[in-house]
């Protein structure tokens, strides 16, 4: 990648940047957005599908929203509730509302738009934004461009995870890279743990550095990405899709455990269940090596042993214990 230096065209030293977050719901960055350096002024729920029905009624009343959030063991009932509690503007815009997004940003007048976990944002909506937009992407770009990079990195068993902050452009995840962080991928991590780490912790720090540089009219180093990516597009990968695409016997013990823990559930296709067991979700309980080996990339034949509400996935190297629970509990 080629590095270039971009100097802010308008002196903004000493002034707080007006920031807007575009996202798709209550994500780790949503919770921390109000604490970013600068002046966070509002949040846009892009595609507007983060709450509805009962929640949409409850969020009109602070007391009910707080009670609902407490019952759900969350800090906020919805994204709009978060904005209300933190004195932020809020807008919910549907997929076809490109003009509506442009109008909202024209009224709010942000200096910088930040996106995370949401579909592609049309560039014409950002024409009134001084510094355009940046996106927080959970991969070491240009690898794993697409909607579900984290899942593919777990399935591909990459050694390192990463997060990139890049410019928004007309092409998905192809804008110049402003900041990156790389770290070893932990084994047996739940999806939410990884999202919290990369988006809520590391990503938050990277964004603060960028906002601080822009605020003080400092140069930004930009690494121009190559046109092509070294990996295939990271399309959405559901638990069912994983079970259909990869046979259990084609995967090593490390990969199987990582996938089951990541989704907090085992794909039904790997278990070939019949009777009442088909109606339960089978969640990971424990992992144990039979021979005492550490994680190794070895594929052997798996056996499935059913014992009441317990299922054991076993091969020559390891035993994975699953527990059946009612879906949604």
Whichever domain contains 164, its CATH number is 3.40.50.170
Place of tokens 């932990």: 186
Answer yes or no: do 207 and 319 share one domain.
Answer: no
In a domain, 231, yes or no: no
Query: How many Å apart are CA 267 and CA 191, to the nearest integer?
Result: 15
In a domain, 297, yes or no: yes
In a domain, 129, yes or no: yes
**Whether the predicted model's global pTM rises above the 0.75 cut:** yes
**Of 73 and 208, more confident:** 208
In a domain, 106, yes or no: yes
Answer yes or no: do 244 and 214 share one domain.
Answer: no
* Contacts of residue 229, Cβ cutoff 8 Å, sequence gap at least 6: 141, 142, 143, 144, 145
Answer yes or no: do 56 and 11 share one domain.
Answer: yes
Bridge partners (DSSP) listed for residue 92: 45
* For residues 115-121, average pLDDT: 88
Query: How many Å apart are CA 133 and CA 257, to the nearest integer?
Result: 37
The number of folded domains in the chain is 2
pLDDT tens sequence across 248-289: 999 989 999 999 999 999 999 999 999 999 999 999 999 999
The domain of 259 spans 239-325
Answer yes or no: do 108 and 189 share one domain.
Answer: yes
Report for 23-32, 49-58, 217-226, 292-301: range of highest mean pLDDT? 23-32
Answer yes or no: do 297 and 263 share one domain.
Answer: yes
**Of 77 and 246, more confident:** 246
Answer yes or no: do 105 and 165 share one domain.
Answer: yes
Torsion of CA 327, 117, 236, 50, to 10 degrees: 40
Answer yes or no: do 220 and 249 share one domain.
Answer: no
Identify the domain boundary among 224, 252, 287.
224
Tell me what pLDDT residue 78 has: 84
Identify the domain boundary among 156, 190, 224.
224
Percent share of the chain, pLDDT over 90: 69
Identify the domain boundary among 198, 224, 250.
224
Distance of CA 263 to the CA centre of its chain: 13
């Amino acid at each position: 990648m080629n590095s270039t230096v971009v100097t802010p065209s308008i002196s903004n030293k000493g002034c707080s940047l007006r920031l807007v977050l575009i996202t798709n719901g209550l994500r780790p960055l949503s919770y921390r957005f109000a604490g970013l350096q600068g002046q966070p002024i509002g949040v846009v729920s892009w595609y507007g599908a983060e709450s509805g029905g009962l929640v949409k009624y409850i969020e009109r009343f602070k007391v009910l929203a707080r009670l609902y959030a407490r019952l759900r063991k969350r800090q906020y009932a919805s994204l709009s509730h978060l904005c209300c509690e933190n004195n932020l503007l809020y807008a919910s815009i549907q997929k076809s509302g490109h003009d509506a997004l442009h109008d909202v940003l024209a009224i709010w007048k942000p200096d910088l738009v930040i996106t995370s976990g949401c579909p592609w944002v049309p560039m014409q909506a950002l024409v009134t934004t001084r510094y355009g937009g940046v996106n927080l992407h959970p991969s070491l770009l240009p690898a794993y461009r697409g909607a579900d990079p984290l899942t593919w990195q777990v399935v591909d068993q990459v050694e390192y995870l990463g997060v990139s902050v890049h410019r928004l452009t007309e092409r998905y995840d192809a804008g110049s890279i402003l900041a990156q962080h790389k770290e070893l991928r932990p084994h047996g991590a739940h999806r939410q743990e990884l999202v919290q780490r990369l988006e809520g912790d590391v990503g938050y720090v990277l964004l603060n550095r960028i906002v601080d540089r822009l605020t003080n009219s400092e140069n930004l180093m930009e690494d121009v990405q190559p046109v092509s990516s070294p990996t295939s597009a990271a399309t959405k990968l559901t638990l069912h899709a994983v079970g259909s695409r990869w046979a259990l016997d084609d995967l090593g013990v490390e990969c199987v455990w990582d996938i089951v823990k990541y989704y907090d559930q085992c794909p039904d296709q790997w278990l070939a269940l019949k009777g009442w067991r088909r109606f339960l979700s089978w969640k990971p309980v424990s992992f144990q090596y039979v021979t005492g080996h550490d994680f190794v990339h070895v594929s052997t034949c798996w056996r499935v042993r059913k014992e009441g509400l317990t299922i054991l996935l076993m091969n020559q190297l390891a035993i994975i214990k699953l527990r059946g629970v009612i879906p949604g509990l």
